[in-house]
């Protein structure tokens, strides 16, 4: 396992501090913002001087003298009040990059202790088409899953289907109202279960809003739906059979969306999977005194001393016996703990559900539903907005379906791809594949490159541009390297030992060496935007290098071989990060 360059440098500089009798922790070193002054910088002399009541420049000079002895730096200077600026010798830099290239994880695993993680994301619901709200849950969740796998974690990804509760009763009653003769509504229904669903997924998507609207106007309908929900949960065979159909066809539908977005789930569980455990849980909570009755409902009080905002109790069972979203989530924690004994359970869900998760997490701790060491975290995110700055809606104010967002992005990408003259160079099938990849990369990069908690404006024209901080730009950078390496192979050019002959090469190497810190930051903060920043700066350094340094056209065979190797390493790292971001790179463009 390779140690990151910054860790190594901080250690070396720390030792120099130690050698002059100062605490080595002052040796923390970071990349310099001013490449003209140095590649790396350490400001520890200032803090050390303050502590010791000495002159920072004196300390800086002593540390510098020690660093000189190491032979690892080609230049060390003292700037301003005592900043130490450093430039690495080429040998040191090349040695490090060669080590990184040997490491399948580019030195990223040295920061990380492998964990068992359950990631809960996606979160679609029966009968409702996935919509814009599920876009971020899927894109961010999948990227965090890939990041964790890259770091060596054991990841269980669970879609946590919304398949229980009152919406199910509403659907059953509305279907019954429309088709009373179907066998499912007979109290004595005992099968046989028809193979095919009596409703299509398109019908369901129309039935659900209709049922929901009816329940608001018709109290008797609502009451009947409540009762049906209750009967379903108690196991009434006809309702279960109908529910199973609705669940199956809804899952099949969401699978198409998830496949388009490249999301991979190891588990397709849902709220309903908690049904058998809920009575067991409720009995325990009651017996151990964690739950109480409040206005006929069973609740867990989760308010804590010092709460600044009001913290309502978590309702587990309403007076009519119905279980709630919080009940299934608490029961899911118990089931997951029992089954997997995870180190953490992470929920990638809209930030607007933060109160819900706060209540559930507090209840889980209070009721000892999991091991105290198990970490629970709600990884929230902001909304996707329209140009008016409000959450994205269709023109007539409806919910924007996920599928149509993706289709729009691919359409926009098709235009852009055609404008770049690709239409003449590729067969229609390949062109279509490229446009799909570009469209999806555009949405994903735009989403992930924002700070997770901020809202952003959905602007396909901007997202699909081949310039600037966009998915297509990143993709193009990788494709360009691929094409170059393919040409090199055709010309039977081979790569060779790394050399540094130009600053553009050194800068590219420094960008490659910065990955471990980016990955560590992204995983600690669950912040894929840090990886987007990294891959963007890597592409920029690559483009600068490509501009300054001929590769295939380089006359000196050793330099050419070294540059080919540098290109290959860059491509491997770029593709790795783009993979974590969920971006597929075509062979050519």
Buried b vs exposed e over 447-475: b needs ≥16 C-beta within 10 Å? Answer: bbbbebeeebebebeebbebeebbbbbbb
Measured from the CB of residue 131, what is the shortest distance to ligand ARG in angstroms? 9
Out of 2, 85, 125, 507, point to the residue binding ligand ARG (CB under 6 A).
125
Cβ contacts of 140 within 8 Å, gap of 6 or more = 121, 348, 379, 381, 447, 448, 452, 528
Residue 96 in the binding site for ligand ARG (CB under 6 A):
no
CB nearer to ligand ARG: give 347 or 445: 347
CB nearer to ligand ARG: give 153 or 329: 329
Distance CA 110, CA 103 (A): 11
CB 358 within 8 A of CB 309: no
Measured from the CB of residue 340, what is the shortest distance to ligand ARG in angstroms? 15
Could you give phi then psi for residue 435, rounded to 5 degrees? Answer: -60, -40
Beta bridge partners of 79: 83
CB 59 within 8 A of CB 82: yes
Measured from the CB of residue 329, what is the shortest distance to ligand ARG in angstroms? 5
CB nearer to ligand ARG: give 163 or 176: 163
CB nearer to ligand ARG: give 317 or 329: 329
Residue 120 in the binding site for ligand ARG (CB under 6 A):
yes
Cβ contacts of 3 within 8 Å, gap of 6 or more = 107, 110
CB nearer to ligand ARG: give 357 or 473: 357
Residue 253 in the binding site for ligand ARG (CB under 6 A):
no
CB nearer to ligand ARG: give 87 or 336: 336
Measured from the CB of residue 243, what is the shortest distance to ligand ARG in angstroms? 16
E strands, 318-413, are 344-348, 375-379, 384-385
Measured from the CB of residue 123, what is the shortest distance to ligand ARG in angstroms? 3
CB nearer to ligand ARG: give 62 or 120: 120
Which residues in the 185-214 window bind ligand ARG by CB under 6 A? none
Cis peptide before 95 (omega within 30 of 0): no
CB nearer to ligand ARG: give 38 or 123: 123
CB nearer to ligand ARG: give 5 or 323: 323
Look at residue 254 and give its three-state secondary structure.
helix
First to last CA, the chain: 35
Out of 347, 381, 458, 466, point to the residue binding ligand ARG (CB under 6 A).
347
CB nearer to ligand ARG: give 356 or 437: 356
Tell me the window of 60-68, 79-87, 109-117, 120-128 that interacts with ligand ARG (CB under 6 A). Answer: 120-128
Measured from the CB of residue 325, what is the shortest distance to ligand ARG in angstroms? 7
Both structure tokens of 478: 């990788």
Which residues in the 128-157 window bind ligand ARG by CB under 6 A? none
Nearest to 63 by CA among 50, 49, 51: 49
Distance CA 551, CA 499 (A): 13
Which residues in the 466-495 window bind ligand ARG by CB under 6 A? none
Measured from the CB of residue 339, what is the shortest distance to ligand ARG in angstroms? 15
Measured from the CB of residue 328, what is the shortest distance to ligand ARG in angstroms? 8
Residue 329 in the binding site for ligand ARG (CB under 6 A):
yes
Measured from the CB of residue 160, what is the shortest distance to ligand ARG in angstroms? 4
CB nearer to ligand ARG: give 330 or 527: 330
Q: Is the dihedral of CA 530, 32, 3, 579 positive or negative?
A: positive
Beta bridge partners of 379: 348
Nearest to 88 by CA among 9, 30, 3: 9
CB nearer to ligand ARG: give 167 or 586: 167
CB 107 within 8 A of CB 1: yes
Look at residue 166 and give its three-state secondary structure.
helix
Measured from the CB of residue 111, what is the shortest distance to ligand ARG in angstroms? 29
Tell me the window of 117-125, 145-153, 245-253, 261-269 that interacts with ligand ARG (CB under 6 A). Answer: 117-125
Measured from the CB of residue 406, what is the shortest distance to ligand ARG in angstroms? 18
Which residues in the 421-440 window bind ligand ARG by CB under 6 A? none
Question: Which H or E element spans position 300?
Answer: strand 297-300
Nearest to 570 by CA among 547, 537, 548: 537
CB 366 within 8 A of CB 395: no
Out of 278, 349, 413, 481, point to the residue binding ligand ARG (CB under 6 A).
349
Measured from the CB of residue 267, what is the shortest distance to ligand ARG in angstroms? 12
Which residue minimizes CB distance to ligand ARG? 123
CB nearer to ligand ARG: give 14 or 162: 162
Residue 162 in the binding site for ligand ARG (CB under 6 A):
yes
Cβ contacts of 12 within 8 Å, gap of 6 or more = 27, 67, 70, 72
Could you give phi then psi for residue 502, rounded to 5 degrees? Answer: -150, 145
Measured from the CB of residue 304, what is the shortest distance to ligand ARG in angstroms? 22
CB atoms within 10 A of CB 388: 9
Nearest to 60 by CA among 257, 370, 50, 521: 50
Binding mask 1-40 for ligand ARG (x = CB under 6 A): ----------------------------------------
Measured from the CB of residue 252, what is the shortest distance to ligand ARG in angstroms? 17
Total residues contacting ligand ARG by CB under 6 A comes to: 8
Residue 503, burial from CB neighbour count under 10 angstroms (0-12, 13-18, 19+): middle
Tell me the window of 119-127, 223-231, 260-268, 513-521 that interacts with ligand ARG (CB under 6 A). Answer: 119-127
Interface residues toward ligand ARG, by CB under 6 A: 120, 123, 125, 160, 162, 329, 347, 349
């Amino acid at each position: 396992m390779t140690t990151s360059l910054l860790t190594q440098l901080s250690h070396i500089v720390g030792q120099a501090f130690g050698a002059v009798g100062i605490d080595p922790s002052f040796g923390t070193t970071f990349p310099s913002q001013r490449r003209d002054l140095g590649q790396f910088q350490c400001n520890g002399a200032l803090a050390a001087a303050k502590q010791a009541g000495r002159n920072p420049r004196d300390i800086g000079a002593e540390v510098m003298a020690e660093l000189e002895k190491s032979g690892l730096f080609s230049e060390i200077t003292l700037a301003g009040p005592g900043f130490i600026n450093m430039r690495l010798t080429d040998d040191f830099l090349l040695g490090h990059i060669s080590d990184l290239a040997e490491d399948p994880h580019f030195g990223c695993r040295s920061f990380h202790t492998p964990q068992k993680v359950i990631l809960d994301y996606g979160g679609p619901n029966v009968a409702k088409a996935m919509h814009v709200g599920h876009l971020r849950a899927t894109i961010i969740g999948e990227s965090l899953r890939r990041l964790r796998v890259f770091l060596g974690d054991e990841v269980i990804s669970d879609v946590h289907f919304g398949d229980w509760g009152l919406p199910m009763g509403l659907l059953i009653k509305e279907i019954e109202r429309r088709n009373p003769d179907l066998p499912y509504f007979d109290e004595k229904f005992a099968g046989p279960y028809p193979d095919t669903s009596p409703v299509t997924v398109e019908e369901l998507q129309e039935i659900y809003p209709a049922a929901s609207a009816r329940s608001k106007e018709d109290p008797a309908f609502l009451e009947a739906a409540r009762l049906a929900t209750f009967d379903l949960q108690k196991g009434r065979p006809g309702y279960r059979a109908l529910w199973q159909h609705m669940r199956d066809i809804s899952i099949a539908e969401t699978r198409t969306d998830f496949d388009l977005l490249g999301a991979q789930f190891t588990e397709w569980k849902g709220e309903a999977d908690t049904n058998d455990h809920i009575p067991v849980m409720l009995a325990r909570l009651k017996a151990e005194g964690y739950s109480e009755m409040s206005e006929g409902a069973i609740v867990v009080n989760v308010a804590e001393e010092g709460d600044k905002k009001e913290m309502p109790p978590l309702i587990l069972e309403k007076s009519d016996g119905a279980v709630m979203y919080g009940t299934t989530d608490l029961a899911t924690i118990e089931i997951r703990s029992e089954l997997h004994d995870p180190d953490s359970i992470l929920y990638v869900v809209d930030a607007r559900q933060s109160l819900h998760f706060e209540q559930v997490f507090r209840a889980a701790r209070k009721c000892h539903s999991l091991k105290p060491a198990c970490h629970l975290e709600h990884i929230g995110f902001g909304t996707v907005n329209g140009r008016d700055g409000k959450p994205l809606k269709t023109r007539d104010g409806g919910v924007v379906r996920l599928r149509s967002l993706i289709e729009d992005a691919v359409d926009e990408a098709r235009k852009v791809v055609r404008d770049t003259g690709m239409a003449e160079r590729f067969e229609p099938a390949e062109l279509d594949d490229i446009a799909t990849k570009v469209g999806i990369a555009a949405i994903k990069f735009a989403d992930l490159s924002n700070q997770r908690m901020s809202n952003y404006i959905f602007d396909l024209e901007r997202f699909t541009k081949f310039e600037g901080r966009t998915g297509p730009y990143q993709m193009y950078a990788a494709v360009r390297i691929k094409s170059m390496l393919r040409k090199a192979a055709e010309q039977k050019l081979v790569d060779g030992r790394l050399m540094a002959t130009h600053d553009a090469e050194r800068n590219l190497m420094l960008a490659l060496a910065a990955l471990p810190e980016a990955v560590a930051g992204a995983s600690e903060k669950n912040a894929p935007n840090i990886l987007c920043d990294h891959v963007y700066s890597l592409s920029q350094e690559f483009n600068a290098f490509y501009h300054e340094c001929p590769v295939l056209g380089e006359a000196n065979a050793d330099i050419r071989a070294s540059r080919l190797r540098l290109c290959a390493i860059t491509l491997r790292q770029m593709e790795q990060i783009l993979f974590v971001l969920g971006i597929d790179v075509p062979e050519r463009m």
